Amino acid sequence: MKKESTRLLDDLYAQTEININKAISTWQLLSNAQMTAQPAPGAWSAAQCLAHLNSYGRYYLPAIEKAMATAANTEPSVYFTGSWLGNYFYNSMLPQSNGRPKKKMHSPKNHQPGLELNASKVIQEFISQLELLGRLLTEAQMIDLNRAKVPISIAPFIKLKLGDTFLFLTAHINRHILQAERALEAATGNSEKAVTAAGRLVLQP
């Protein structure tokens, strides 16, 4: 996948803003019972979906900041070209046309959310992480997205290009926001659909 760097970052920033507005305007207004209701035994609640995302953010956001700091003196790249591994991770996160995941994945044990959650705290952390992601996307306009590298969480000796990491992280967030919406609909009867609208802003390779 080859994309103009500025357009790529602008599109990912727009998705991040949509997700922030969703969390602030909708999820913050729901009760703890609504956010923690499981749609079925063993299925994640909306709060669990966000807690899962928070666990990834605690790893990737500092890792991105570090990668950007080490590449601070690089010239911004006009175009970003995704690596084969980055494209694989990104595509694995994209939903089908109906918003459902293409395939189910097992979450690593250290990223599996607990059952007893304070939904308000989970949402606040989620919003804070998205705000930081938005800032990093803005600052990345001055970074070479091809040269800066970020170690992946499951195998830190493997590194992805900064652009690949932004794409994967945003697609992963969108994937679980859709899952959270399905959980709320099943558990509470709320038929509202995710503002992210699955692939509306997702960049296709």
Query: Tens of pLDDT along 87-128?
Result: 998 888 887 766 676 666 666 666 777 778 999 999 999 999
Q: Which tokens in the block code for residue 47?
A: 């709060």
| CATH fold for domain 2-188 | Four Helix Bundle (Hemerythrin (Met), subunit A) (1.20.120)
C-alpha distance across the termini of the chain, in Å: 5
Q: Residue 33 to residues 1, 41, 56, 75, 201: CA-CA distances in angstroms? A: 42, 15, 24, 49, 31
pLDDT, one tens digit per residue, over 17-72 is 999 999 999 999 999 999 999 988 889 999 999 999 999 999 999 999 999 999 88
Q: Residue 162 to residues 58, 68, 117: CA-CA distances in angstroms? A: 17, 8, 32
Q: Backbone dihedral region of 170: left (phi > 0), alpha (psi from -120 to 50 degrees) or beta?
A: alpha
Where along the chain do its domains lie? 2-188
